[in-house]
Structure 1
């Protein structure tokens, strides 16, 4: 018997990035396991900050994609750093959600993505009714992450967001967290709350062969993903020692323009920005590099970058520069190297120590470990038993 389930999320393909990939694979996995899946999401706009061309001028858009019903709702799209504009963006989608909830039949099972905190709060508030099972999927801890990123101060607004966070946790029947730290944080507030660790394990298409290294002696380091403030790629470009390395960048985000300007003014440095690729194209491309770097400008409690699982399944050794639980994963599973978050001298020293390592063998070992330990289907099976 098919079960109906709705997933409410801010991110979904054709948007790129970890959040949209995570929700897509969850939806696809549930659909293949006898669920009628519906998605409620904004018109595509992330990370560009404007509605994608195919959806411009539309107030809403409905489609059936891979047997999944996708409802795309109006949002005031922006990637502005202005807090008022960012708040208005979240509120605009929240208003669209309220309208949809009021005018449509909602299944008895609903998965709500958080953050954004206010969007999750809107969903929990208006969907809380007898008999409905609400599952909160927490991928980052807000407002704590905002404070650690120095985007928020501990003032009245912060305390209000903490109350909203608590409300969301309290009214969820099950909370999914992508890290042990997230689950510990939730249980510190609500010790009896049912939780489940749901990592962002990817489904990777098997590639024929790892490409031969590009023909030069320099260590080729690649970063692929969001070019946001938290990742600090612009700062990384400035701090790397380029004596024996090349740095290749793929992606888009708030720092893209700064990065392009830096490369233009420092054109003597071996930094290459390649733009944004589809996930399939990216996977075929980045396996030609020696190592992948995963940086965070500051250690963020609860954060475990999904790139750890993606790169390791592609057979790319990882250089991790972000601290926290992600660092522990690299150590425990021997997936590569670590440098203390924010310590660029140590980072350059670690890179120097990697030069000369037989990286193809290291990559094969990393991939074997990842395929064994980061299995999407096993994790999904355990989750289905709870919902």
Structure 2
């Protein structure tokens, strides 16, 4: 078996799309006869504090489903303050720098980006050691930070981030992009760079749809995921109008906006929005079996971003209400996965919700079956992985 290392800022038992995506990559590489190891921080995300099993430890080595996971110390934080976030990433990056410099590493290494500082440290050391660097780009930073108003254009921080971004693209042997927009952006800087599309397809292992549709119940729309700046769930709950509609919104997750969200829901006169906290992925999927529609929002249109929730919940059979713009909007529309509301346009979102409220439960049940079949045929991780291996990516 050939050795391959994955470097990531997130890995289960941490929650969220990033951790799930890297785990799926690791498991699929293992299933294709690679000996996979992962280097990541001690588990802390999205709470911003070390999980109980990692407190008081400097490093931990685990075996998770035949994947060797090496966890290094980190100063955890989910603060809105940029300085604290940078300190958190820097704390892990220093440990990673020493680990990569002095430890024996495989010839092939997958580096997850963002965070930019982390990927820069990894690419810098690995290029010195002449490794094959497979850069996995899931979001375009610093461009996304500018669009989210987390970074000021042409500021010193912006210029420094651009330097880091250009460096990792230049030094990477090849690049995996999570969207066509990401690949187009990289080719605009380095036209000759070998880039490959790698979608965040899930692998639920389900060949039969397990969703059920409850008659005589409101239409249950859910959001499940991180409660961070990019998703804008707090603003969504402020501006969504469910008055007089046969619709409930259920929120599952954790993150920086959790407390604000809990206070907003508790103070609401009409109980149409419900908060359930963060659940384990398997438990969440079990709870969602009687729900009807997945809402996938982004606070603003972020160039290059394609939320993995489109593939995650489409593959379970859920119709998608997409409210994020960009390439994700095209995927939902072209595959007839549900509804699209114009990003940042809450009037359009509320009008779409009004249309959805007129659907019968039998209409939704028919949609679920069709979408499940479409996703099974279109969002296949095994086919994607085998194609990339045949092309010599891994």
With the shorter chain as reference, the TM-score category is: over 0.9
Aligned residue in 2 for 1:17? 16
Aligned residue in 2 for 1:375? 380
Supply the distance in 2 between the matched residues of 1:299 and 1:379 (Cα, whole angstroms).
27
Please state whether the residue corresponding to 2:294 is helix, strand or coil. strand
Does 2:368 align with 1:363?
yes
Following superposition, the deviation at residue 90 of structure 1 comes to 0.9
Supply the distance in 2 between the matched residues of 1:213 and 1:122 (Cα, whole angstroms).
51
Supply the distance in 1 between the matched residues of 2:288 and 2:342 (Cα, whole angstroms).
25
Aligned residue in 1 for 2:152? 153
Aligned residue in 1 for 2:214? 213
Supply the distance in 2 between the matched residues of 1:354 and 1:268 (Cα, whole angstroms).
19
1:60-80 CA distance string (max 9 Å, x none): 000122111110000000001
Following superposition, the deviation at residue 384 of structure 1 comes to 1.7
Scaled by the length of structure 1, the TM-score of the pair is: 0.97
Across the aligned residues of Structure 1 and Structure 2, the Cα RMSD in angstroms comes to: 1.2
Gaps of at least 5 residues in structure 2 are none
Following superposition, the deviation at residue 159 of structure 1 comes to 1.1
**Structure 2 counterparts to residues 1-387 of structure 1, below 5 A:** 2-129=1-128, 131-154=130-153, 155-206=155-206, 209-213=210-214, 215-216=216-217, 218-242=218-242, 243-244=244-245, 245-357=247-359, 358-385=363-390, 386=392, 387=394
Gaps of at least 5 residues in structure 1 are none
Following superposition, the deviation at residue 85 of structure 1 comes to 0.9
Supply the distance in 2 between the matched residues of 1:132 and 1:238 (Cα, whole angstroms).
49
Contact 1:223–1:248 (8 Å) recurs in 2: yes
Contact 2:301–2:324 (8 Å) recurs in 1: yes
Following superposition, the deviation at residue 157 of structure 1 comes to 1.4
1:248-272 CA distance string (max 9 Å, x none): 0101111110000001111433111
* Greater displacement, 353-362 / 53-62: 353-362
CA gap 1:191/1:230 in 2 versus in 1, 3 angstroms? same
Supply the distance in 2 between the matched residues of 1:58 and 1:214 (Cα, whole angstroms).
51
1:308-341 CA distance string (max 9 Å, x none): 0011111110100000000000111000000100
CA gap 1:268/1:354 in 2 versus in 1, 3 angstroms? closer
Following superposition, the deviation at residue 148 of structure 1 comes to 0.3
* Greater displacement, 271-280 / 138-147: 271-280
Supply the distance in 2 between the matched residues of 1:270 and 1:139 (Cα, whole angstroms).
34
Contact 2:317–2:369 (8 Å) recurs in 1: yes
